[in-house]
């Protein structure tokens, strides 16, 4: 018979019934140490990065934008560096700052990006002291945001300072006519580049256009505007003013009287330039009366197919761009896709490759890479 052993007490029973306590292993300690090291390295890199991004502005434009909103003496200090440092190291590129007045610092943000065009929606509202106001809708108008305060006065200050040293900052390029280099432009690296001020009339041209002409007189009196006269023809200036929106073509081109020059040029309809039979006397869009030739991309070209422009869309763009080039005008598409970013960049790439005159953009940072990568930074 087999003997059966009966436990005599609880002390004979192994005491391992309960859950074991999990002790940290050497691998867990190693993972923790690696995590701590990674956090330390990241913090170090961020510490090195912050001073680099926060470095002092290197030119007058960047100094003004960095001090915008501070007390005026702080901003005025930026003006003392003219004319040598105002736009140092900024290379102009053919980009048009769409709805420029929406930016944190209108005009200056666009100049800091190198854009050669800015846009202002202009309203005449007699209820607001008969001045020209800038805004997207009538409800957004305020006496603090006028064509004079946002654009005309700042441009006068910029150009007066840029040309204060007897035009010593002008280009020495002998191929540029003397009359075109009387006044240097806003860009130190390219003083012969003209900045386009696109005035989009939101109120009737008959009442608003004469007020626009009057508001531009200070720029004209200082020889800062591109002009056209029968005697001298087209004379390029540091600022080229273009009328669009409700601007009427016929009154615009008939505006010069006697010896008065034409100072506002028309934004011609881009699709018309590749097919329309033009009347030489009445509606021939050319460099004597027009500068831009524009159209809505969305309405004229249409949405990309699966994120890409179709061959038919590309051919249509090519015909229209060539039509503008044949007239000596700067082609421009507004209302291009803005999202997704890949689609936006793809459309920009195609437009630049096809020779579009200027890109109308909201993204002032991304557009530079397109011109430098595809267009070779031309401007």
Tens of pLDDT, residues 297-339: 999 999 988 889 999 999 999 999 999 999 999 999 999 998 8
Closest Cα partner for 321 from 289, 286, 353? 353
What lies within 8 Å, CB to CB, of 81 at 6+ separation is 59, 60, 63
Q: Kindly report the CA angle at 58 between 55 and 61, in degrees rounded to 5?
A: 115
The distance between the two most distant Cα atoms of the chain, rounded to a whole number of Å, is: 139
Burial of 137 (0-12, 13-18, 19+ CB in 10 A): exposed
pLDDT of residue 21: 53
The answer, yes or no, to whether the previous bond of 340 is cis (omega within 30 of 0) is yes
CB atoms near residue 249 (< 10 Å) = 18
- CA distance linking residue 183 with residue 203, whole number of Å: 32
User: Does 283 or 176 have the greater pLDDT score?
Assistant: 283
For 187-216, what is each residue's pLDDT tens digit? 999 999 999 999 999 999 999 999 999 999
Mean pLDDT, the chain, rounded, equals 79
- CA distance linking residue 100 with residue 198, whole number of Å: 10
Question: What's the average model confidence in pLDDT over 334-351?
Answer: 90
- CA distance linking residue 9 with residue 139, whole number of Å: 92
For 128-163, what is each residue's pLDDT tens digit? 767 899 999 999 898 889 999 999 999 999 999 888
The answer, yes or no, to whether the previous bond of 258 is cis (omega within 30 of 0) is no
Burial pattern 19-35, b for ≥16 Cβ within 10 A else e, equals eeeeeeeeeeeeeeeee
- CA distance linking residue 157 with residue 295, whole number of Å: 33
For 265-303, what is each residue's pLDDT tens digit? 999 999 999 765 445 444 589 999 999 999 999 999 999
pLDDT of residue 254: 59
- pLDDT at residue 112 tops 50: yes
Alpha carbon 287 to chain centroid distance?
Answer: 24
pLDDT of residue 80: 52
Q: What's the predicted TM-score (pTM) here?
A: 0.76
For 49-93, what is each residue's pLDDT tens digit? 333 333 444 677 777 777 776 655 545 555 555 556 788 888 999
């Amino acid at each position: 018979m087999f003997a059966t052993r009966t436990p005599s007490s609880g002390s004979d029973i192994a005491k391992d019934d309960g859950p074991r306590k999990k002790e940290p292993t050497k691998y867990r300690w190693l993972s923790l140490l690696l995590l701590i090291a990674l956090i330390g390295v990241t913090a170090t890199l961020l510490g090195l990065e912050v001073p680099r991004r926060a470095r002092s502005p290197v030119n007058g434009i960047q100094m003004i934008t960095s001090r915008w909103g501070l007390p005026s003496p702080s901003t005025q200090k930026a003006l003392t560096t003219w004319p040598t440092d105002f736009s140092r190291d900024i290379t102009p590129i053919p980009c048009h700052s769409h709805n420029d007045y929406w930016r944190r610092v209108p005009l200056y943000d666009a100049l800091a990006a190198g854009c050669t065009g800015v846009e202002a929606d202009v309203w005449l509202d007699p209820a607001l002291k008969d001045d020209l106001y800038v805004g997207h809708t009538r409800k957004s108008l305020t006496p603090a945001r006028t064509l004079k305060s946002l654009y005309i006065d700042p441009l006068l200050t910029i150009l007066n300072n840029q040309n204060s040293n007897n035009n010593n900052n002008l280009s020495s390029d002998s191929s540029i006519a003397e009359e075109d280099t009387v006044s240097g432009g806003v860009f130190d690296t390219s003083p012969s580049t003209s900045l386009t001020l696109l005035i989009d009339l939101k109120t009737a041209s008959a009442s608003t256009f004469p007020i626009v002409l009057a508001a531009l007189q200070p720029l004209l009196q200082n020889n800062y505007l591109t002009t056209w006269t029968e005697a001298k023809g087209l004379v390029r200036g540091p600022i080229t003013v273009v009328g669009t929106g409700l601007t009427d073509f016929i009154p615009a081109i008939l505006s010069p009287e006697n010896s008065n020059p034409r100072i506002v040029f028309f934004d011609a309809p881009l699709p018309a330039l590749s097919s329309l039979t033009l009347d030489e006397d009445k509606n021939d869009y050319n460099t004597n009366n027009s500068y831009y030739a524009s159209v809505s991309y969305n309405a004229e070209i249409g949405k990309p197919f699966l994120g890409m422009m179709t061959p038919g869309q590309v051919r249509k763009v090519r015909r229209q761009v060539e039509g503008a080039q044949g007239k000596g005008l700067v082609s421009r598409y507004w209302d291009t896709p803005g999202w997704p970013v890949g689609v936006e960049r793809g459309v920009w790439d195609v437009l630049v490759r096809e020779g579009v005159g200027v890109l109308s953009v909201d993204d002032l940072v991304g557009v530079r890479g397109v011109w430098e990568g595809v267009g070779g930074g031309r401007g």
